[in-house]
Structure 1
Amino acid sequence: MSAPFSKEEWAEIRRASTALMPDVIGMVGLPKALLPYQSRTLTKLESSTCHVLFIEKSRRIGLTWGFASYAVLRAGRAKAAGGMDVMYISYSQDMTREFIDACAMWAKAFSVAAMEMDEFLFEDKDDEGVRSIHAFRIRFASGFEVIGLSSAPRSLRGKQGVVMIDEAAFVDNLKELLKAALAFLMWGGQVVVCSTHNGTENEFNVQIQDILSGRSTYDHMHIDFDEALQDGLYQRICLVTGKAWSPEAEADWREDIIGFYGEGADEELFCIPTMGSGAWLTGPLIEARMTSSAPVLPLDLPRDFLHRSELERAILMAPFMAELEAALDVLDLDLRYSFGFDFARVADLSVGKLMSIDKTLKRASALTFELRGVPGDEQKLITRTVLQKVRSRLVGAAFDATGMGWTVAEDMGRIFGLRDKDNEGGLVHAVKFSQEWYRVNMPPLKAAFEDDAISISKNDDHLSDLRLVKVIRGIPMVPAVRTGEANKRRHGDYAIALALAHFASRQQWHEYAYIPAGRAASKFDVVSGGDDRSAVRLGSMRRSRGIY
């Protein structure tokens, strides 16, 4: 179950987060009607570029109430101002009635003229004949309506406006419903699909994974239980129920709610679909992408390496460094490169993955090194050698920074620039692994395998590492198991390095160059460092936020 904070920790988090907040109630009498996450959702929907929005959310955080305010504002305005009909669809009549009641409340609050609110029946034709559908409707003086439907009738086809599909993972046939709803886009309509999860194989989660992997360009939002609490959900509950709010009271309430859902808390509260525990990538798919001839360089040092003389240590390192230099010398520096590094020191491997990016955006293995029993300084030397070679063409380097790997990320950041928490700065991304990181960044890697947009070297160990990745509670992760022979154990190390390199390859960047005044040059000179400010710097990179 995903409950990353204890009761005491949550109380402290909320105490700290509200310590500097103004006393809104004391200042304006009542808090703002919409909570921040509700307001952000409406702002997104009002954007002229938001045509289809998918929202994965926690149970009972009041998002439907926020949707009702948007429905009233949209149906209540004139056509010239963007007014149109709003159709709300859910899996239950009770939810639909609740939505219409909320719309009536908002209409009164906004003083939007509503001509009437009624219930009506209309006919839906299917293969079995004609059946009546029970629906609810509010008519506005603008001429537009908010219509609430308790099912997914085919008569949705031919209508026009905004379609809201609430708890979409639980409707009878979401795939067919989306086909009908998306037709609204041809004439300027809008589609909103919102739900808690209902399993990894559900069409709602399939759509979410397509968005996260980049296959789909629909807008996406994620609002889990803790995010809603941080935005004041429990404070609003206390306001409505007349209870006194405190960090301790909220922590107790949060723990009770998580306990109430038990094993279902991950799915119901934290947006993690269940029912998935199988292999993430199939063996045939992985082997089909093993089309690269890029080298895989292993280095396995003896346990007493640090107890040997400096000369002996140099002799042990020399063959590997010679192989590495030879592999780097043949790299095509017309290509762009990304790098991923999964750090280990004792039980597991450290794996470094250099990946090229061609003009068609296909990623291909350029070099892989695997280090066992290698001390930190030697790991940094090897990593630095690789990055220095491709520095002028490097778009990003991502390092495992969850443990001792932070020291490698930090030292590489001193040389190549460290990315900050706002995703600004240099080339080096220090990645602290979390369920959220895996949830967002593993789907694009899987899509690359499925779309033949990646090429890796033929290697049996790498096949085993990638096969080790499992879908755990709906999220692709490496489980706490190891493969391989004794003293040669692997823990999915290559899969993690590959995921990091693929993540780094998707960072937006812009190349710039200049020719100094007073100097004629037939071609740009590549500069990787130094103090010569008059030199032309080609391949230096400025990067903006985001992932493409």
Structure 2
Amino acid sequence: MKRAISAEPVLPRATKDLSDDFLRGSDFPEDLDPFADGVLMKHQAEWVADKSDLKICPKGRRTGITFAEALDDTLIAAAAPSAGGDNVFYIGDTKDKGREFIGYVAKFAKTVAKELVEIGEFMFKDQLKDGTIRDIPAFRCVFASGFRVEALSSRPENIRGLQGIVVIDEAAFHRNVRGVLDAVNALLIWGGKIRVISSHNGVLNPVNELIKEARAGKIPFSIHEVTFADAIRNGLYKRVCTMRGKKWSPKAEQKWEAKIRGAYGVRVAAMRQELDAIPAEQEGAALTRVLIERQMQDGIPIVRWACSDDFKNWPEESRTAETKKWCEENLKPLLDKLDHRRQHVFGEDFGRKGDATAIVPMEIGQDLVRRTCFVVELHNVPFDQQREILFYVVDRLPRLSGGALDARGNGAYLAEKASQRYGATVVEVQLSEAWYKLEMTAYVMAFSDQTVILPKDADILADHQALAYVNGYIKVPDDHRTKGADGFDRHGDTAIAGALAYFASRADLESFDYVPASQADQFNDNVPMFEQPASGGLIPRISGGLF
């Protein structure tokens, strides 16, 4: 663990040891020797000894990994360039974490490097995506080696601009976790290293996804999982006793652990997440995987269409012709099979270039179960062609009794066009807090009541797992993103479309069949509806009733 310490001239330093001011509420004995046997617990020593470029530690709370990281970073910053010295950037989830980390580094520097490093607060220049600069308060320890340890008190956007070793502490609680993780990978190009340390924040958090990918061997991260039980087994309570002047005994240790765990009460999932490093599927999540999969069935088609970027520049007639051809080949066979005796509804969640547009038609069965007929997913499809596809589907839904479309942002155009075409049958929905509280709750309850059926598909499963409690109501968190099997970004698209379809199915609306004006005179009231000619047009006929 020893490193060569730089013998270069010492930089100007503060005349007063300020580290105690930074170690707020921390117990750090003046005579602590970090190299002494037994000072570091087994899991701490293993973390420091691992020199991998990429390391990740899913952990229980207060297990001492950040303490060990501070020691390692002190050795690195104090070392000469020839001995592997480098700059270190610590990014915590709170300002106090940064202060505490810098305090640890300063204390270790005094012990290890035998120098009183300069501690200071400064403004870190962070360049945003639009080119503007913002100042982030940060703390710094400067070593005689010329290297420094900086703790940034706010998450920088321009992490790619950092060069050295980057430590992301409590990564699962950062505002833009995925953006942080994506950005630090650029550091590897010039020999940088990445350390990710975090307790869990739900099974769907990107950090948990990163851990699963590492365990599957998809990414070259070295994994160190440290639970509260591991830390106790490695001597955590013995250190607590030493700090507090108490006598250690196995019985006292068991009583202490029971007290810590008992403080969570009935919140067993929270206790397991925070202490045992087991991500809570219910911690924030509105639906469990088991509940979703129970309501999935084989054989329900999913039709996906992704357009190239230049498709929008085709002549209008060519785009329309290509779209009609796609609809005839992919949607008509599915629409022809629909049961004309049943009412149908649909929901639509709009996306243009980033997320997908999802169209989810549902059949209302005689048992009142809403069964998904099929799912349409559109990626990078121009506005006009989305309108043509939506109209192609809805025109042919037997006994249309309702539809609901996401009217936020760019989705307002398609929602307005649908409302103009179908009248009061279709609702333009602004996905507000009030709507989420009422309608998304009802949709989630449908899984417990077994009154909704979805296609059996991994992407649709992930979309519904994304539904979470945010500020007391259920929605897809704004910063939640997943990658579909096709490589495109997803933002819970089919979950939103499904919820909108379910919402439409609960409205007290009459059902309509739409037939072409040219066929209106041919419609025979004496022939059962499901034996009528294929519908598709603008002339509505009221069917009334549920069945």
TM-score by length of 2: 0.45
Larger gyration radius, structure 1 or structure 2: 2
